[in-house]
Amino acid sequence: MDYQLLEVENGKPIKMWTQDVPVEDEAREQLINTARMPFIYRHLAVMPDVHLGKGSTIGSVIPTQGAIIPAAVGVDIGCGMMAACTTLLASDLPDNLHALRTAIERAVPHGRTVGRGRRDEGSWDTPPETVDAMWAGLLEGFTRITDRHPCLKNTNNRKHLGTLGTGNHFIEVCLDEADRVWFMLHSGSRGVGNAIGSHFIGLAQKDMQQHIAKLPNRDLAYFSEGSQHFDDYVEAVGWAQDFARRNRLLMMQNVIAATRGVIAQPFSASVEAVNCHHNYVQRETHFGAEVLITRKGAVSAQKGEFGIIPGSMGARSFIVRGLGNEESFCSCSHGAGRTMSRNEARRRFTVADQERATAHVECRKDADVIDEIPMAYKDIDTVMHAQRELVEVVHTLHQVVCVKG
């Protein structure tokens, strides 16, 4: 077997693709709690980037029948990756990449500012026409959702479309093994997805108020199929995933336009190269049965399907092709996976450490991004080796520019 099997008393087994990869005891316990839910189908599949998460373990694939756990999807609904290969070569890039980084930062709102009377720098002040045109395709579904759940109406939605966010979200300029230039970015459904996730997690806990004490964890509160809130959630989460996909597409268009303003060499870019979620739920057929597959920090890797597995800032990333391994529910990891919390990374490392670790990358090197330092993540090469039966590497990328909020 290319996975480790963990049998769970009074629950379904857990299959873990974690050879030579550290797994926290807390993450293992969280997985066991999920495996004991009565509606889990066959087994849980665990990817090598596994680590403790809020609500559900990051790096897990959760198949269910007749129920759905909103906190397993989480609040960063539809978070995922997009990559585009260009006709540019490394030799077409300027020697000093600072101007390219700042052009991308101007083109895509990023970060977050809060405070009374202050505009959030991570949102549009006045969204451009391209954003309004994209929002028009989302408005009907949003109206239908907010008619039933009015609290979701006054959220960051239209002004967050085409924006990056904070944390581990990023935009990168990368080079592949043939020195071709790629653009790669990571983001999701932003404020409106967070609001949808939080709202339905709360509804699930409220609906189960009489039974929640019997759950291993209150974040495992679920909706039963056939209930009104189940149907509402499926519709809302599907809409948020569509928002996330469009959000990445808009950002990619703006990154390409910004680059054209810096680099005189004409180029084209395959914008449709890869656009994949790694925090989402959808209906799929596995082992002859229709099931709901929740991928929490995991990517679909159906046979022949392309995906993206990024390393940390400063490490390599991979464009992969799925091998269709049914035991993993045709899934792979969504990245390297953290080895420590953000607070622990801030305690342990300094700006000087960050500067050394990202010396080859044009990026921010200040105290606010220490939590994203490469040493806070697992070794990407070990992670890739552990899932060699899940995906094959098509391209290996290393970043030369990284934008973070």
Q: Is 168 known to sit in a ligand binding site?
A: yes
Q: Is 154 known to sit in a ligand binding site?
A: no
**How far apart are the C-alpha atoms of 128 and 139, rounded to whole Å?**
16
**How far apart are the C-alpha atoms of 77 and 236, rounded to whole Å?**
10
Q: At what angle do helices 129-148 and 228-260 cross, to 10 degrees?
A: 170
**In one letter, which amino acid is 172?**
E
Q: Is 300 known to sit in a ligand binding site?
A: no
Q: Is 268 known to sit in a ligand binding site?
A: no
Q: Is 186 known to sit in a ligand binding site?
A: yes
Q: Is 313 known to sit in a ligand binding site?
A: yes
**How far apart are the C-alpha atoms of 126 and 138, rounded to whole Å?**
18
**How far apart are the C-alpha atoms of 85 and 176, rounded to whole Å?**
9
Q: Is 43 known to sit in a ligand binding site?
A: no
Q: Is 170 known to sit in a ligand binding site?
A: yes
**H or E, element range at 280:** strand 279-286
Q: Is 258 known to sit in a ligand binding site?
A: no
Q: CA separation (Å) from 301 to 32, 61, 277, 381?
A: 24, 12, 11, 18
DSSP 269: E
Q: Is 167 known to sit in a ligand binding site?
A: no
Q: Is 229 known to sit in a ligand binding site?
A: no
Q: Is 306 known to sit in a ligand binding site?
A: no
Q: Is 117 known to sit in a ligand binding site?
A: no
Identify the active-site residue in 51, 277, 334, 395: 334
Q: CA separation (Å) from 145 to 75, 157, 324, 326?
A: 17, 13, 34, 34
Handedness of CA 17, 276, 72, 238 (dihedral sign): negative
Please confirm, yes or no, whether 334 is among the known catalytic residues. yes
**In one letter, which amino acid is 248?**
R
Q: CA separation (Å) from 83 to 44, 60, 182?
A: 29, 23, 7
Annotated binding site for GMP: 168-172, 278-279, 310-313, 317, 334-337, 404
Q: Which residues are catalytic?
A: 334
- Known binding-site residues equal 76, 168-172, 186, 278-279, 310-313, 317, 334-337, 404
Question: Residues within the annotated binding site for Mn(2+)?
Answer: 76, 169, 186, 278
